Every structure is written in structure tokens, then in C-alpha cells.
DNA sequence: CAGTAGATATCGCCT
DNA sequence: AGGCGATGTCTACTG
């Protein structure tokens, strides 16, 4: 099984190629002059131009121009692709429910259609995420402060789950919020909510400390932290080189799913 | 000028096709069996498999598998694409500075290479955004509450710009925060910051009211609003059908940039 | 299914 | 270049 490509096909031939590709579960690309209409969570319209349409067997649709990382229009996974010839144009419609939304791509000219059989792994191993930072804090709690003792991760509160919950050298409860990169005011607000929620939950109205752990903070975030009596500790996620090699091979295997 | 496609090219032929396509400013697709390494803001590794690589003339690189809307790896616009043959494989490297990051895609087999000359519009018209909701509030302030009088949009405060600032029937200052969809605790925090900032700025320590305008709120957000003495008004962005037709044609023209 | 928060978020605007 | 907030954010996870 191999790549199938048509150059400047008739709409009818393109339709048949697309139908067959959907049937096979291929990844499809269509390059041509088209207009695009979207209606759903919002609504949008895109005038004529040459674009690359990508149709995935999981129901994803992407319309790309020659600029930007973000597609100019799209449909999320779980949509259903259908193709038809209407008013002398090739119409590709991708539709889903919950939420109800629809993407219509109408080609007045198809320059190329390709059907690509995709196999192999799609599990990417990423390092330097917030989870890596959490690992670092759990293995070296003194990086937060001397004698800090982590007690739980993802501890549930009325305001949501706390990244790391523990106690300081004097036994006071400490809420740690982790961010993998420089943070703004939103993170200060988030930490503040957790601290307030825990102050209500802790039985003996003991003070709860809040510590934001991140590489750095903006000025406004620093002010907000100060207002709320929260603290900041500068710490970065471990670099990929420090981290990647020391991983449990049993969980780190490159799962290549079905 | 037209589409150029190579099937199962040698690495050398693929390299030349890619170099020529970069030179022309074409959009490029490469389908083949590859591994992918990324290092920059984070770091990642992806084992062998068939993927679709998209290279845009603006420096964007996208690696797509047969699943998900989000590329499995990517490089943002402004990167520089380079191609070479190394160790018997075709290596496409996309790199940028600030931040310093790099994507390497190494093909052991190239199934197809296409160079697509892209022309035409890329300006999409979206309706149902927060700006449309703001328009609705400015044209019909009574939808917020009777005799609400908007005074400014994007009014600057120490905590950032306020969506709509105005006064109620009794002359009290009102901060309106707009959200195009159902909101969670973060929006309540955002509105609270604006209200606090304005209470300090307003000369005669007058109370400042805060009103969140959105289609709906989560329970937790509702609690937070209540705690902070903030209010909620249910309002949606105008539907596309209501909105799109009544637009100033002088500004609403479908600009198709250079 | 809704709620919640992370992300190599991306993107645009403004200082 | 950095700060800040919107996005049709997307995505994973949890109840």
C-alpha cells in the first residue's frame, strides 16, 4: 500500500479518490483554490484562495495557508468528513455534534489530491513540563525551602487540586503551585484561591502558606503575591539533558498504540 | 507556475526539490518515515513512523500524524528551514532564536515531496467573538442592567485594561468583564483584580461594582463572584446571522493582503 | 458530560 | 522584547 496522488483531477475523480481514501483510513491532503465557511461555536467566512486541506481519519480537518502555525480554519477530531460535487464545485464538509459545528470547504479548482497511508508511532516524549518540575521538587524539597516536607500531590480542595501540599519546618501547612515558565497575575490568583480554600478546610484555623514555584514572575504578579501574603521561589524545570536519561524504562517505553 | 511532486525520490533529489521550493517561497509537504527531535522551551523525542511534514515560507514547521488537531511537533513562524543529507538520511532542520529552539526531522524514507505555490486571501472573518459581544453591550447597555451607561472600553487600570467601564443609575462606577463563553474561576479572579485596582484609583473611596457578562458560569466561579461581591449577567455574543450582515463595508472588506 | 488547569500553547495589541 | 489577555484555543484528567 502506497501513496496515491492525482494532479488537476476532475471534481468527480477527486471525489472518488477522497471516498476511497476515507474508506482506507488514509490521511488526505487536498491543495486547490477554495472558499471556506465555518459555523458552530463561532462563525467565519474565508474568501477564495489556494490552501492546503488536511483530512485525518480521526475526523480532524485543517485548512492551512502559507502563513501561521495555526490553521486558518479547522474541525476538531471526532468530526465526520463527507465529500460531494455541488454547483460545479468539490465540496468537503466536516461536521460534528456537541458542540454542533460544521466546516465547508468548496473547491473551484483542485490542483492536487493525495492519500497517505500512515503507520507507526505517534507517542512523543516531552521533557521540561510542569510534571518534571514537580518531580524535581519532590526529590529535592529543600529547593523550595529548608526542611520543607511534601505530603501530597494533586491534593483536592474546594478550589481545585493543589500541585504540591506539605508542611514547613514549623509544621504549618504549605500550598505549592508549580509553573514551568515565567508567570503573570493569573497564577497568583490561582494560588490565592487554593490557600483560601485550604484555610477553611484546615480544622484548627492555622495559617496556610502559599508558595509559587516558577522560573520568574512579572512585576504585577509579584505585587499581587505580596498583597495576598504569598511567596515566590525561583526554580526551573530540569533541562532535558538532566532529566531524560534517568527515566524508568518500564513506563518510558515508546508505546506505539494500535 | 504549478504543483511539483516527487514520488519516492532519492534523498538527493528530495533535497534539491526542497531547496528550490524554499527559494520560490512555496508551501512544502513531505510525507515519509521519520524521527523527530525538538529542543528549546521544552525538549521532545519521537520515534520512527510515517508523518506529514509541512514547511511554510514564513518559517512555520508542522509535523502531523494521523490523529489530533495539534501537530505532534512543530516550529513557530520566523524559523529558518534548512535541509541536508546526513548519515544516509534526509534531515530537515527548522531553527529560530529568541527563544532558541530547534526542530530536527530525519527521514529514512521519503514517500512523497510536494511544492505548492500558494496565492490568495488568508484573512478570515470571524463572528461571535468577544468583540461582537462588546458591540452588543455598547449598543444595548440595558442588556447589562437598566440605565447602565458605558463610558469607556479598554480603560486602563493598574491591573490591566477593563473591557467596559461605565456607571450605574446611581452614578456608581461599574467594571464589566466580557466573556464569549461559559466561564470558570479564572474570570472571576480577573474581574476581582480590576475592581480592586479601580477602587484604589477612584478618588472618593466610592464602591466599584464588578459585573461579569457571559453566557453562563460554573458553580465554583459563581461562589467566587459571591465571595468577592461581584455580579453576573447572562448574555451571549450575537449569532453570526444577526451580526455579519450589518457591518460597515468600508472596514469589512475582504482584504487579501499583498 | 461538565469542570478544571496545563501547553514548546499561538496570536495580536500595546508599552 | 516583554506584558497581557483572547482563542472556534486544544488536550488530558477527574468526577
Average pLDDT, integer, range A124-143: 96
Q: What is the tens place of the pLDDT at every residue in B70-129?
A: 999 999 999 999 999 999 999 999 999 999 999 999 999 999 999 999 988 889 999 999
A·B CB contacts under 8 A: 228
pLDDT for residue A91 is more than 80: yes
In terms of phi and psi (left: phi > 0; alpha: psi -120 to 50; beta: otherwise), the region of A238 is beta
Q: Is the pLDDT of residue B222 over 70?
A: yes
- Closest nt by CA–C1' to A70: C10
How far is it, in rounded angstroms, from Cα A93 to Cα A91? 6
Decide: pTM greater than 0.85: yes
What is the spatial distance between Cα A17 and Cα A1, in angstroms, rounded to a whole number? 15
Q: How far apart are CA A185 and CA A221, in angstroms?
A: 4
Residue A118 pLDDT > 90, yes or no? yes
Model pLDDT, residue B257: 37
pLDDT tens digits for B183-194?
999 999 999 999
Average confidence (pLDDT) over A142-167: 95
Answer whether residue B252 shows pLDDT above 50: no
Distance CA A56, CA A188 (A): 40
Distance CA A218, CA A12 (A): 57
CB contact at 8 A, B102 and B93: yes
Average pLDDT rounded to a whole number, residues B18-28: 98
B-interface mutation test, from A7, A22, A27, A253, most B Cβ less than 10 A away: A27
A45, A117, A189 ranked by CB distance to B125: nearest:
A45
**Chain B residues close to A45, C-beta within 8 Å:** 124-125, 244
Confidence of residue B246 (pLDDT cuts 50, 70, 90): very low
Residues A230-246 have a mean pLDDT of: 74
Residue entry with cell 479547522: A74
Higher pLDDT, A219 or A241: A219
Q: In B, which residues are within 8 Å of A189 by CB distance?
A: 186, 189-190, 192-193
Q: State the average pLDDT for chain A.
A: 91
Residue B57 CA to residue A24 CA, distance in Å, equals: 32
Best of A3, A14, A66 to mutate (most B CBs within 10 Å, chain B):
A66
Mean pLDDT calculated for residue range A238-257: 44
> Is the confidence at residue B242, as pLDDT, over 60?
no
At which residue does the C-alpha cell 490552501 appear? A51
Residue B249's pLDDT band (boundaries 50, 70, 90)?
Answer: very low
- C1' (C14) to CA (A239) span, angstroms: 33
Q: What is the pLDDT of residues B125-151, one digit of tens each?
A: 999 999 999 999 999 999 999 999 999
d(CA B204, CA A126): 53
User: Which residues have a Cβ under 8 Å from the Cβ of A171 and sit 6 or more positions away?
Assistant: none
Q: Cis ω on the peptide bond leading into residue A146 (within 30° of 0)?
A: no
Q: What is the pLDDT of residue B203?
A: 76
Report strand pairing: A61-64 vs A73-75. antiparallel
CA distance B160 to chain A (A): 9
Q: Report the run of H or E that residue A31 belongs to, with start and end.
A: strand A27-39
Instruction: Please say if the pLDDT value at position A194 is more than 50.
Output: yes
Q: Tell me how far apart the alpha carbons of residues A93 and A115 are, in angstroms, rounded to a whole number.
A: 17
Closest Cα to residue B28, out of B7, B50, B4? B4
Residues of B in contact with A52 (CB under 8 A): 27, 29, 54, 116, 118
Mean pLDDT score, A5-33 = 98
| Strand C, nucleotides covered by protein (CB < 7 Å) | 1-12
Question: pLDDT value at position A185?
Answer: 94
The 3-state secondary structure of A68-132 reads CCCCCEEECCCCEEEEEEECCEEEEEEEECCCCEEEEEEEEEEEEEEEECCCECCCCEEECCHHH
Residue B122 confidence (pLDDT): 86
- Interface contact B76-A66, CB threshold 8 A: no
CA pair distance A172, A229, nearest whole angstrom: 15
From the list A39, A48, A192, the residue facing B121 with the nearest CB is: A48
Residues A50-66 have a mean pLDDT of 98
| B68: chain A residues, CB-CB within 8 Å | 56, 58, 60, 77, 122
Residue A26 burial by Cβ neighbours in a 10 Å radius (0-12, 13-18, 19+):
buried
Grid coordinates representing A222 are 509579584
Closest by CA to A24, choosing from A158, A117, A122, is A117
Amino acid at each position: 500500500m502506497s501513496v496515491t496522488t492525482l494532479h488537476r483531477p476532475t471534481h468527480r475523480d477527486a471525489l472518488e479518490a477522497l471516498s476511497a481514501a476515507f474508506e482506507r483510513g488514509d490521511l488526505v491532503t487536498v491543495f486547490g483554490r477554495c472558499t471556506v465557511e465555518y459555523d458552530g461555536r463561532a462563525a467565519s467566512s474565508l474568501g477564495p484562495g489556494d490552501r492546503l486541506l488536511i483530512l485525518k481519519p480521526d475526523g480532524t480537518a485543517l485548512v492551512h495557508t502559507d502563513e501561521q502555525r495555526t490553521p486558518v480554519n479547522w474541525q476538531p477530531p471526532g468530526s465526520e468528513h463527507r465529500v460531494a460535487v455541488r454547483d460545479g464545485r468539490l465540496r468537503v464538509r466536516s461536521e460534528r455534534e456537541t458542540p454542533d459545528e460544521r466546516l465547508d470547504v468548496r473547491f473551484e479548482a483542485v490542483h492536487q489530491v493525495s492519500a497517505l497511508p500512515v503507520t507507526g508511532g505517534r507517542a512523543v516524549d516531552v521533557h521540561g513540563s510542569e510534571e518534571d518540575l514537580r518531580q524535581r521538587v519532590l526529590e529535592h524539597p529543600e529547593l523550595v525551602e529548608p526542611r520543607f516536607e511534601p505530603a501530597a500531590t494533586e491534593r483536592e480542595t474546594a478550589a481545585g487540586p493543589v500541585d504540591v501540599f506539605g508542611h514547613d519546618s514549623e509544621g504549618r501547612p504549605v500550598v505549592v503551585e508549580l509553573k514551568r515558565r515565567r508567570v503573570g497575575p493569573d497564577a497568583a490568583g490561582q494560588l490565592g484561591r487554593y490557600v483560601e480554600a485550604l484555610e477553611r478546610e484546615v480544622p484548627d484555623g492555622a495559617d496556610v502558606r502559599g508558595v509559587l514555584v516558577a522560573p520568574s514572575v512579572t512585576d504585577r504578579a509579584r505585587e499581587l503575591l505580596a498583597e495576598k501574603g504569598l511567596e515566590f521561589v525561583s526554580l526551573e524545570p530540569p533541562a532535558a539533558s538532566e532529566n531524560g536519561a534517568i527515566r524508568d524504562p518500564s513506563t518510558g517505553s515508546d508505546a506505539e498504540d494500535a
